[in-house]
Amino acid sequence: MPTILKGKAHREIASLHPAIKIHCTDSRHVELEDRRTGFHLSCASEAVLFNEEGTATDELLSMLRQLGFLNDMPTEALRACQRPFRLQLQEELRNETLTEFLHFAKSDVPFYARDSRYDAEHIQHVADLGRLPVLTKKDLRENFDALLARSADVSGGFASGRYRIARTSGTTDERIQVISDLTVDQVPPDFERVWALSLDGRTPKTAILTSPLCSATECHLGRSPIEKRIHNDIVLNLNSTEDLFGAPEALTRNIVEELWSFRPEILFVNPVYLMWIGREAQRLGLELPKVDLILASYQYMSTIHRRALAAIFGAPVYNSYSATELAGCMLGVECKNGKWHVYENHSVVEITDGGEGMHPSDIGPVIVTVVAGRLMPLIRYDTGDLARFVDEDCDCPLSDWRCFEFHGRQKDVLRFGGRNFTTRQVDDLISSACGIDFYRCLQDGESSLTVDVIPSPGMTADRQEIEDCLRSGLPVDRVTVRQVSRFNPEPSMKFRLTARSDTTGGRNGY
Amino acid sequence: MDIEIRQDFPVLRRQLSGRPIVYLDSAATTLKPLAVLDEERRYSTDFTANVHRGKHLLSEEASDAYESARRKVAEFLSVSPSVVCFTRNATEAITTVARGLGLSKSDKVLLPINEHHSNILPWMREASLVWIEQHPEEPLDLAAVVSALERERPRVLTFSTTSNVTGATNPGAEICRAARQLGVLTCVDASQTTPHEEVSVPALGCDFMAFSGHKMLGPTGIGVLTGTPEALDRLEPLILGGGTVERVTTSGYALRPLPYRLEAGTPNISGAIGLAAAVDYLTTIGFENIRSHQVRLTARLQAVLSDIKGCRPLMACKGSGVPIGALAMPQRHFSLDDVAVSLSENFGVMARSGFFCAHPLIERLGISGSLLRLSAYIYNSDEDIQHFHRAMNTIMHRMS
């Protein structure tokens, strides 16, 4: 039996360096945190780490020195020193979680159990996942029952309100209905520090604004009273519209009124919807309540909207990344440093086109294995999105979660001169132009682009500037810029920033 | 019959969820066979012109085709072509009657509780409604109707021959006879009957009858108002305009005879031609064959709807040979809207959820949530119903 350390050992460790915080210790097990970098170390050793007098053994001291715990150096250098260990530990944890999940899925989910290709025994590492097939929306549609875990008490979940039907509307290849687990925690650990909030431990109230939902139980088109749209006193679904750019004044007034009445700390929004409503509120001279944070989701957020929303609402704007098909689990989250992290408590992400030739930092399809999924577990699901991993260190509390760069939908990629251009790449170009509130870039020929623009109030679209911005990065022969007063949504009620017309033909390499 | 007929319907070639779609929403609208699509398109590709007011070749051909369509429909209804008035749909036809009779709020209109809104609202606006007390899921009881007629002495009795929710089929001829004996005008909504059987308007004995083309394989946007010449002749046209008048002076106008006085403006020419093609298609199959097929499907559907655990079947038990029925779900943890989406997306079954424009019926049944309706037609097979059954059992097993 390991000896329970007394106060002397605590003092001994604390005396090694003032930045070390002790969480828990006994003679063979120690949990330490380096307060300068947030590096949290849980160490269980077969060797004795402390002798009976409570003095750290050479083994422990050597380990702490190697990890930089005892070093005095600038924080940045210290982080760089500790990073390889952190990455290694996170990778081990990721692989452990993955293998445990795969065994669960193989034994508890009929879809995987009956398919010999899902051989959990041979997958020990994320890199091995490529041996397994990729799931598509079609698979989800055709295997509604077989993809649900046998152990999931679906009827009990509905009855208790833990589960809810979630669906996407949209074109034939997008429509899907799944059961969503409302109990899955959708905010990251230590979220106050992740997003630089100070809520003093309070659960933040959140108002949601996105495309309309109308179901038997709730309607977001103004037919349900606010009481029916408030859940557990902390979430309000704001009314929406099927015609955003033609929405009546009354909708904006209703949303502003409900925001004042509910006083959310967080707005969780489709950025296009909030941008229009915020702009309309300003036009109508309606004062907006201050919020602490805006989380954008549902579709790619343009830098134009990020800037404008921050200005209109006086709050930081970050992205939250999930998908209906993930049944309540998260894919990624953007922290206060503007870095997108894989939500590793829920998801293992691969960025791969299935081929051998991809470099680890290339842009590619986002394939997710939802390791937190215990209701409809997904192994290697193709999200239809594009991203690339970036080897960056981030000093937020999610430091150990891999960073990536989100690039939008695969189907929204433009292709000029044999090269692909993602929504992000196009947005980076156009968002440097001034005076734009909304835009859509439509590739309507092999080398031609039509850009529809709604300028900021009181401004006229500077066609030349927009064209110059786009030409600086896109090999196009013709750019046509048109000023418009509205955009029509997709069948999913979202608004694409980039798209290819049917006449351009062919598929991109993704 | 199933295999040969399925090939005629291009929509049924579509695959969803790894199998051909199963269409069980024919009470809302039926699929269109190639024969109808081809005839409808022929007007646009071969002889596009306006009807009646031109003397050139194309106009003559278009007029011939349009009037030929009217004759075909007249033959189907056993009436003279002069009492076949083309409308946009049954709703417009019923509204033409309700508006055209010159009713006032002191006039009573008697009707059953299970009517479609299109046979409620036009009357509600013009007159005072009196509801017939009946079992909401079953056909009208003749004695109850007679009793109500004698008690209320309404100006009009309006009813559908087949319910769009439960498939309940009413004894139309007996009801019309009883009404006529008491001097009450009758208006029949035959929208859910004409797809399934040849309707002889004289045998039915109604004053007015309405139906929609798209519920019997025809195009959308075409319907028919028919009835006795005397009854139709007394209707003030709903709309006036080109085609409805003999001549116009600076101070007045003279209406044309039936049916033209009730067909203002350029009609839906291709729609009428398509409807006639639909009548031809159904006649070629033979209503006897259709009847036996539908009776078999009705029995299957009744058995299946009664076997879905956690749901309450709503389907007429007495004397219906029309495979239309619905399900209600008492528990509210999830809705039949969700079930309809799952049936579609996960199993390729197209079934409708909602209230089917029958709010008074739903209220009378004491149901607060959506219903799920299944309605089969000539292109459906026993296997389609069984596939629905399996899908529904899977969904309900998981969810409730």
Return the pLDDT at A498. Answer: 98
Write out pLDDT tens, residues B178-200: 999 999 999 999 999 999 999 99
Q: How many angstroms separate the CA of residue B127 from the nearest CA in chain A? A: 30
Q: A96-128: per-residue pLDDT in tens?
A: 999 999 999 999 999 999 999 998 888 999 999
- Write phi, then psi, for B90 (nearest 5 degrees): -65, -35
Give yes or no for a contact between B31 and B214, defined as CB atoms under 8 angstroms apart. Answer: no
User: DSSP assignment of B288-329, as one string?
Assistant: HHHHHHHHHHHHHHHHHHTT-TT-EEE---SS--S-EEEEE-
User: Which of A218-222, A474-478, B147-151, B315-319 shows the lowest mean pLDDT across its residues?
Assistant: A218-222
Q: Write down the mean pLDDT value for chain A.
A: 89
Of A144, A159, A217, the CB nearest to B335: A217
Paired strand residues for A332: A321, A342
Q: Do A175 and B345 touch (CB under 8 A)?
A: yes
Phi, psi of A321 (to 5 degrees): -120, 120
Eight-class DSSP state of A204: P
Backbone angles phi and psi of A4, in degrees to 5: -80, 125
The mean per-residue pLDDT over the stretch A234-249 comes to: 93
Determine what percent of chain B is predicted with pLDDT higher than 70.
99
User: What percent helix, strand, coil does chain A show, rounded to 5?
Assistant: 30, 25, 45
Amino acid in the structure at residue B107: D
> Which carries the bigger pLDDT value, residue A155 or residue A195?
A195
Predicted confidence band at A300 (pLDDT cuts at 50, 70, 90)?
very high
Q: State phi, psi for A306 to the nearest 5 degrees.
A: -60, -45
| Helical packing angle, B172-181 and B142-152, nearest 10° | 20
Look at residue A200 in the predicted model and tell me its pLDDT.
86
The verdict on a CB contact (< 8 Å) between A142 and B398 is no
Checking if the pLDDT of A53 tops 80, the result is: no
pLDDT tens, position by position, B224-275 = 999 999 999 999 999 999 999 999 999 999 999 999 999 999 999 999 999 9
Q: How far is B339 from chain A (nearest CA, A)?
A: 10
Assign residue A258 a region (left: φ > 0; alpha: ψ between -120 and 50; beta: otherwise). alpha
Mean of pLDDT values over B360-380: 94
Q: Which of A142, A176, A215 sits opposite B18 (nearest CB)?
A: A142
Work out how many CB contacts closer than 8 A connect A with B.
Answer: 54
Q: What is the pLDDT of residue B11?
A: 96
**CB within 8 Å: A177 and B369:** no
**Average pLDDT score over chain B:** 95
Q: What is the separation of C-alpha A73 from the centre of its chain, rounded to a whole number of angstroms?
A: 33
Cβ-based contacts of A217 with chain B (< 8 Å):
332, 335
| Residue A278: alpha-carbon gap to chain centroid | 23
Q: Which of A175, A176, A215 is opposite residue B335, by nearest beta carbon?
A: A215
* Mean pLDDT calculated for residue range A195-209: 92
CA distance B4 to B6: 6
Neighbouring C-alpha atoms within 13 Å toward the C-beta of B204? 28
Token readout for A219 is 């309607």
Q: Which residue of A has its CA nearest to B400?
A: A155
Say if residues A118 and A105 touch (Cβ distance below 8 Å).
yes
Can you tell me the distance from the alpha carbon of A272 to that of A489, in angstroms, rounded to the nearest whole number? 11
Separation CA B18–CA B391 (nearest Å): 14
B336/A155 Cβ within 8 A: no
pLDDT score, position A69: 85
- Give the pLDDT of residue A11: 66
Residues of A with CB under 8 A from a CB of B: 138, 141-142, 144-145, 148, 154-155, 158-159, 165, 167, 175-177, 215-217
Mean pLDDT of A207-234: 82
Write down the residue that tokens 């005076």 correspond to.
A435
The predicted model scores a pTM of: 0.86
Residue A57: how many other CB atoms lie within 10 Å: 15
What is the C-alpha separation between B320 and B258, in angstroms, rounded?
A: 35
Q: Kindly tell me if the per-residue pLDDT of A204 is higher than 60.
A: yes
Q: How many CB atoms lie within 10 A of CB B361?
A: 25
By C-alpha distance, which of A410, A472, A475 is closest to A446?
A475
Q: What pLDDT is stored for residue B55 in this prediction?
A: 87
Q: How confident is the model at residue A4 (pLDDT cuts 50, 70, 90)?
A: very low
Residue A147 has pLDDT above 60, yes or no: yes
| Secondary structure (3-state) at A505 | coil
Phi, psi (5° rounding) for residue A101? Answer: -65, -45
Closest by CA position to A129, among listed A378, A300, A317, A455: A378
With H, G, I as helix, E, B as strand and everything else as coil, classify residue A312. helix
pLDDT at A1: 36
Q: Does the structure show a pLDDT above 60 at A464?
A: yes
Condensed to tens digits (0 to 9), the pLDDT of residues B193-220 reads 999 999 999 999 999 999 999 999 999 9
Handedness of CA A418, A423, A425, A426 (dihedral sign): positive
* Subunit contact B399:A155, Cβ cutoff 8 A: yes
Share of chain A above pLDDT 70, in %: 92
Question: Would residue B206 show up in a list of annotated catalytic residues for this protein?
Answer: no
Does residue B160 register a pLDDT over 90? Answer: yes
What pLDDT shows up at residue A205? 96
Confidence of residue B69 (pLDDT cuts 50, 70, 90): very high
Most confident of B11-20, B52-61, B305-314: B305-314
Amino acid code (one letter) for A95: N
Rounded distance between C-alpha atoms, residue B95 and residue B101, angstroms? 10
The number of angstroms, rounded, from the C-alpha of B316 to the middle of its chain's C-alpha atoms is 17
Instruction: Determine if residue A218 is left, alpha or beta; phi over 0 gives left, psi from -120 to 50 gives alpha, anything else beta.
Output: beta
Q: What is the pLDDT of residues A313-322, one digit of tens each?
A: 999 999 999 9
Higher pLDDT, A158 or A268: A268
Tokens for B188? Answer: 């029949």
Q: Lowest-pLDDT range, A262-276, B110-124, B321-335?
A: B321-335
pLDDT value for A5: 46
What pLDDT is stored for residue A505 in this prediction? 56
Give the residue from B98, B293, B124 showing the smallest Cα distance to B195: B293
Check whether A3 has a pLDDT greater than 50: no
ipTM given for this complex: 0.78
Q: How many helices (H) and strands (E) does chain A have?
A: 13, 23
- In our burial notation (b when 16+ CB lie closer than 10 A, e otherwise), range B363-386 reads ebbebebbbbbbbbbbbbbeebbe
Q: Determine, for residues A167 and B341 on separate chains, whether the beta-carbon distance falls below 8 Å.
A: yes
CA atoms within 13 A on the CB side of A411: 11
Higher per-residue pLDDT: B238 or A175: B238
Q: For residue A171, what is the nearest residue in chain B, using CA coordinates?
A: B345
Facing A158 at nearest CB: one of B336, B347, B399:
B399
| Residue A48, pLDDT score | 73
Which of A184-188, B2-6, B59-63 tops mean pLDDT? B59-63
- Judge whether A251 and A274 are in contact, CB under 8 Å: no
List the catalytic residue out of B187, B206, B311, B357.
B357
B333 in contact with A at a CB cutoff of 8 Å?
Answer: yes
* SS3 at position A338: coil
Token pair, residue B292, equals: 């036996």
Question: Does residue B320 carry a pLDDT above 90?
Answer: no
